[in-house]
Amino acid sequence: MASAKERTELEARMQRWVNAGLIDRQAGDRILAFEAGEERTARLRWPSLLAMAFGGILFAAGITLFVAAHWGQMSPAWRFSIVLLMVAVLHGGGAALAERFPAFSTTLHGLGTASLGAAVFLTAQIFNLHENWATGILLWGVGATAGWLLLRDWVHAAFVAMLVPSWLISQWNISTNWQWGSRKPVAVGLVLTALTYLSARIDDQRNYARRTLVWVGGLALLPCVGTAIVMVADYHNYGAPVSKGMQALGWCVAVGGPLLLAWLLRGRAAWMNLIWAAWAYGMVISASWMLTIRRNIYGRELQATLILYFLCALGAVGLVAWGVYEKRKERVNLGVAGFAISVLFFYFDSFMAKLGRSLSLLILGVLCLAGGYALEMTRRKLMARMELRA
């Protein structure tokens, strides 16, 4: 959707072209009318897209409930036929409506790829195939990749972005059985992958795949940081350790994979992702150290806690600075949210239990009000500065 600033710039360009004799006044007016019509169409698409999304979810839920209600009464041949038919009908309907109703076509293709995952695992259940279950995710990911190569839509880009890391984590889990030393590479890889997705766009790049990666990374970043810390929190120093060769392979994939993707997406600007790789490694190691100290060494809990939360706050501030530098508002917003969450968790983790109930709530209220106001004012100033630079 074009902004007022973009419309003003377009009108100024049309006027310059008319004055230079490149186009006549009528052609300039037709171009402006066409762009205005495109903007109105974009505004009308949001209700349609929302309706398609909710309709697709309800349609998929209805099919699931219907099949589940009659699943026990079907023979294996009927079950397998329904599984295949479901994938074929959904993708076939999407192909048939590609020209007449693109939004509905995208919805049907997305449902078809989602049903492909169900088809893979249901087929294994129907025929009692006791194989590596991570292979099912791999097959699903291969189908999603084929869909993206054929359709180049945002739905399949999102499927690929989520299924590839899911397969890698699943295969690592099966190969190592979460032995000692196997959790840290996964934790670092999760955070670094989310950051790589978030940084897929630079300045005003307009690409559906990149935009989808930014959405996936933005929604996943904070949960991935929390998951990484919780994953290390469940880390115990017992059992057989992972072999050095497997550890090396895990670290290469966890760090090298996201960095390679960052280089493919960002080119020379990927040097910033190297810094984030170091930050993610430091955060995971400090979280492991903090939890080890809390379990075994009393009296140094605050020191370990300060280091972890300092790194979290530093990452939030770095995300804000990164967003300002590359003029990406979503990074600024995520950085501000991450800083606020870090402060609140630090307060709950380190101080709230040591204060009285009324005093702790009073301080929390002041912290939320004053801190929220300060962060919002800072965010607005940064956004205004970015607008001026643009």
pLDDT tens track for 250-271: 999 999 999 999 999 999 999 9
**Whole-number pLDDT of residue 40:** 47
Q: Which three-class secondary structure state does DSSP give residue 202?
A: coil
User: Mean pLDDT over residues 124-128, rounded?
Assistant: 78
Q: Does residue 10 belong to any structural domain of this protein?
A: yes
Q: Does residue 40 belong to any structural domain of this protein?
A: yes
Q: Does residue 241 belong to any structural domain of this protein?
A: no
Q: Are 154 and 208 in contact (CB under 8 A)?
A: yes
Q: Does residue 173 belong to any structural domain of this protein?
A: no
Q: Which three-class secondary structure state does DSSP give residue 23?
A: coil
Sign of CA dihedral 102, 108, 114, 120: negative
Q: Does residue 54 belong to any structural domain of this protein?
A: yes
Q: What is the pTM of this model?
A: 0.80
Nearest to 136 by CA among 102, 171, 161, 101: 171
Q: Write the pLDDT tens digit of every residue in 296-340.
A: 555 556 666 788 888 899 999 999 999 988 888 899 999 999 998
Residues in the chain: 390
Q: Does residue 207 belong to any structural domain of this protein?
A: no
pLDDT value at 27 more than 80: no
Query: What is the domain count for the chain?
Result: 1
Nearest to 213 by CA among 276, 280, 157: 157
User: Mean pLDDT over residues 204-226, rounded?
Assistant: 88
Per the structure, the complete domain to which residue 5 belongs is given by 1-59
Which band of pLDDT confidence, cut at 50, 70 and 90, is reported for residue 189? very high
**Residue 340: Cβ within 10 Å count:** 19
Question: What residues have CB less than 8 Å from 267, skipping those under 6 apart?
Answer: none
Q: Does residue 93 belong to any structural domain of this protein?
A: no
Q: Does residue 137 belong to any structural domain of this protein?
A: no
Sign of CA dihedral 49, 54, 56, 59: negative
